[in-house]
Structure 1
Amino acid sequence: MPSAKTKVATVSRVYSPARVIVALLMLAAMVSVFWSQPLAAAQLPDFTELVEENSSAVVNISTTTEPKRQGSRFHGLPFDEDQLDQLPPFLQEFFRGPQSPFGQSPHSQQPRRSMGSGFIVSADGYVLTNNHVVENADEVIVRLSDRREFSATIVGTDPRSDMAVLKIENGEDLPVVRIGRSRDLQVGEWVFAIGSPFGFDYTVTAGIVSALGRSLPTENYVPFIQTDVAINPGNSGGPLFNMDGEVIGINSQIYTRSGGFMGVSFAIPIDDAMNVFRQIRDDGSVARGWLGVLIQEVNRDLAETFGLDRPRGALIAEVMEGSPAAASGLRSGDIVLEFNGQDVETSADLPPMVGRTPVGESARLTVLREGREIELDVQIGQLPDERNVAQGDSSRGSQGDTASNPLGLGVDPLPAELASTLGVEGGVVVSDVERGPAYDAGIRPRDIITEIDRKQVSSVEEFRDVVADLPENRAVSVRIVREGRASYLVMRP
């Protein structure tokens, strides 16, 4: 009979293959972990070749703005610069010195310097950048990646799109970027930027396209590209590239609460930028299409009152007299659903569509009017440089008969002088608003009501009749004019 020691040894020999299998499985797992890391890295984009190919056409832009010589009176003193030059030196120092009680003269102020980015779009030296980079600059210097520096002239600017076109003087063998098509962009695709944030030249940052067609309050005619590419002061005017090495945008703005990058950056689409560039280069100015309407967003309540299945389109709150829209037959209360076959999903979609349409060209509009869709042709006009909107008299007209009603509204007749000033045909002036449906809708004293539930209101009597026939428990639209601007509100009687 074998001993206990022998039995133990025998058992050990029987199970040794299992241990080998376990060891092999552990080794395989470790190998898979090491191999998975380079495989995952291989799926991420590599920007090295793209940066090397395109950075030479990206430029650093530095500007100098000299203090302006103004015929200032130094806080009330009757001296201008030429007169001060004739005074004795000690008096000049008294008036111009840093301790002067009359303010500093331009002589004592330092030139203001700023920095931004740009890129070369033609071999003869045209450069694109932002308007705010070179605005009011007296000197513009463009520096290339090979450290060459050139003086540049400002060919033209377009503040509405925040674009500027520069021309390098005496440049030779200039590198040029390749221009892509921003209309082919898709949300989620990789993009990268080259610029000079905080003066650090040729900094590369990357990210993805976060959204397309963004509208910002200060830029109604630019459908911005939103990205999460890190953009900071100094990146402005620099190019945004796609993965083919083509410029598809101009980095322009960021959304921030701290003054620095917070993950939300905006770029001007290159399709719009090149349109502006060609107009400035060829004509010296930019002409944009113009309808001559004031529009507002269609929210859920307005969609219900106008019979839409969902919120969409651009609601026309006012049609300007003598405008292309007026000539085409557009009316306040129309909702523009399509422009030249393109869907108008939000009110922000319409201005860029109109703005990029050539002046004088005819456009086909599909509008919703009184519950049915109709088509109108409008000849696009040119957006005026200055748009003067008549402002209403802030004082209320003379008191007339006040109509009390379930809406909690008191109204007076609209004085003829005020109607003429505002260009309003009929309406009533709100004299008092109590707590109720009208107040909840946002109607306030001095508002002018011209329409309720798609019915015109031209007098106090008509106002009474329309209010008496209002349906219960259904939202109705109310058109008001406030400080010269028309808009629609939604009221639930």
Structure 2
Amino acid sequence: DAKRAIMDFIDTGSISYSWLGVQTGEPDTSLAADLEIEDKDGAFIYSVYSNSPAAKAGLLPGDVVTKIGDSEITDSSDLVRNVASLPVGKSTDFTVLRNGNSVELSVKTEKREESSGSDVSALWPGINIAPLTDDIRNQLSLKKKDEGIVIAAIAPDSIAGGSGLQQGDLVISINSEKVENARDFYRNLNAPPDEIQFRILRSGRELTIGFQKPGN
């Protein structure tokens, strides 16, 4: 906040802002419904930077941040404002919605540097997903029996992007666990082990693509 920024400047001659290390946004209507969060406020986490304050605290892709300290979080812009005003290096309680349950985590932010968040290769997983709607099914020429979650966007240099996964791939299982909706996707993605195997459908062919989760 403004008072803290002024005190920082008086104490150190500069203003320090906190860094969390997440990629957030607002899911569209179909994804929010698939995640069963359409009537919930909060900031949805698409990806987490490995070795970031968020990763060290245990924040995961698919989490919805609903509260920081005593402040309710309504959307991703709200999260950015609240994180920036947190004291650098001090622990703050974050409340997140995960698989329908409320989880509390203690997060110790770090000082935001010019390079913070610039290393796309540290982005986990670096994927945005979409439910399989009739429109998408037609666009991808998928059969009625085909089920899964579609990779809607992928950061080319991210961890998943470097594995060979592509936009438009249909994820049908992760580590042999079936993926029928967005909740399945994130639950299976975040589950052990650290070795991940995606079974996908691409242009009518089933492929298996494996890669390693980042260490924190």
TM normalised by structure 1 equals: 0.28
1:354–1:408 distance in 2 versus 1, CA, 3 Å:
same
After TM superposition, give the deviation of residue 299 of structure 1 in Å: 4.7
Q: Does 1:279 align with 2:15?
A: no
Paired residues of 2:48 and 2:59 also in contact (CA < 8 A): yes
**2:166 alignment partner in structure 1:** 429
Between 1:273-282 and 1:344-353, the stretch displaced more is 273-282
Return the alpha-carbon distance in structure 2 between the equivalents of residues 327 and 300 of structure 1.
31
Give secondary structure in 2 for the equivalent of 1:363: strand
Equivalent pairs counted in the alignment come to 157
Distance change (3 Å), C-alpha of 1:374 and 1:385: same
Question: Which residue is 1:55 aligned to?
Answer: none
Displacement after TM superposition at 1:408 (Å):
3.5
Partner of 1:313: 42
Structure 1 distance, partners of 2:156, 2:38, is 37
Q: Is the 8 A contact 2:29 2:38 kept in 1?
A: no
Q: Counterparts of 2:38 and 2:79 in 1: how far apart (Å)?
A: 20
CA contact (8 A) 2:21 2:48 kept: yes
Q: 1:431 to 1:463 in 2, by over 3 A?
A: closer
Residue ranges of structure 1 left out of the alignment (5+ in a row): 1-271, 392-404, 411-417, 433-437, 439-450, 465-493
Amino acid corresponding to residue 69 of structure 2 in structure 1: N
Other structure's SS at 1:286 match: coil
User: Runs of 5+ in structure 2 lacking a partner?
Assistant: 122-135, 142-153, 171-179, 190-195, 202-216
Give, in angstroms, the shift of residue 275 of structure 1: 2.5
Instruction: Label 1:274 to 1:364 Cα distance change in 2 as closer, same or farther (>3 A).
Output: closer
Deviations 1:69-108 (A, max 9, x none): xxxxxxxxxxxxxxxxxxxxxxxxxxxxxxxxxxxxxxxx
Q: Distance in 2 between matches of 1:357 and 1:302?
A: 30
Q: Does 1:360 align with 2:97?
A: no
Alignment of 1:61-72 (within 5 A): none
Q: Distance in 2 between matches of 1:406 and 1:385?
A: 41
CA distance in 2, matches of 1:278, 1:288: 12
Label 1:293 to 1:349 Cα distance change in 2 as closer, same or farther (>3 A).
same
TM-score of the aligned structures, taking structure 2 as reference length:
0.60
Deviation at 1:354, TM superposition (A): 1.3
Aligned equivalents of 2:106 and 2:94: distance in 1? 6
Preserved CA contact (<8 Å) 1:409 1:430? no
Aligned counterparts of 1:285 and 1:382: Cα–Cα separation in 2: 12
User: Following TM superposition, by how much is the alpha carbon of 1:298 offset from its aligned partner in structure 2, in angstroms?
Assistant: 4.3
Q: Provide the rounded CA distance (Å) in 1 between the counterparts of 2:66 and 2:51.
A: 23
**Residue type at the aligned position of 2:158:** L
Output aligned runs, 1:61-460, within 5 Å. 272-308=1-37, 310-387=39-116, 388-390=118-120, 406=137, 408-409=139-140, 421-424=157-160, 428-430=165-167, 453-454=182-183, 455=185
Distance 1:344 1:312 in 2: 7
Residues 298 and 311, structure 1, Cα contact 8 Å, conserved in 2: no
**1:423-454 deviations in whole A, cap 9, x for unaligned?**
2285721369xxxxx9xxxxxxxxxxxx9623
User: Whose Rg is larger?
Assistant: 1
What secondary structure, in the 3-state scheme, does the structure 1 residue paired with 2:11 have? helix
Q: 1:463 aligns with which of 200, 204, 208?
A: 200
Cα RMSD over matched residues? 3.5
Q: Deviations over 1:162-194 (max 9, x none)?
A: xxxxxxxxxxxxxxxxxxxxxxxxxxxxxxxxx
SS across alignment from 2:94? strand
Do the aligned partners of residues 301 and 428 (structure 1) sit closer, same or farther apart at CA in structure 2, a change above 3 Å counting? same
| Structure-2 separation of matches of 1:309 and 1:419 | 26
Give the match's secondary structure for 2:120.
coil
* In 2, Cα distance between equivalents of 1:419 and 1:278: 38
In 2, the alpha carbon distance for the partners of 1:307 and 1:335 equals 11
After superposition, the Cα gap between the structure-2 partners of 1:406 and 1:295, relative to the gap in structure 1 and judged at 3 Å, is closer
Structure 1 counterpart SS, 2:166: strand
For residue 357 of structure 1, what is the amino acid of its counterpart? L
Counterpart CA distance in 1 for 2:28 and 2:157 is 30
**Counterpart residue type for residue 58 of structure 2:** G
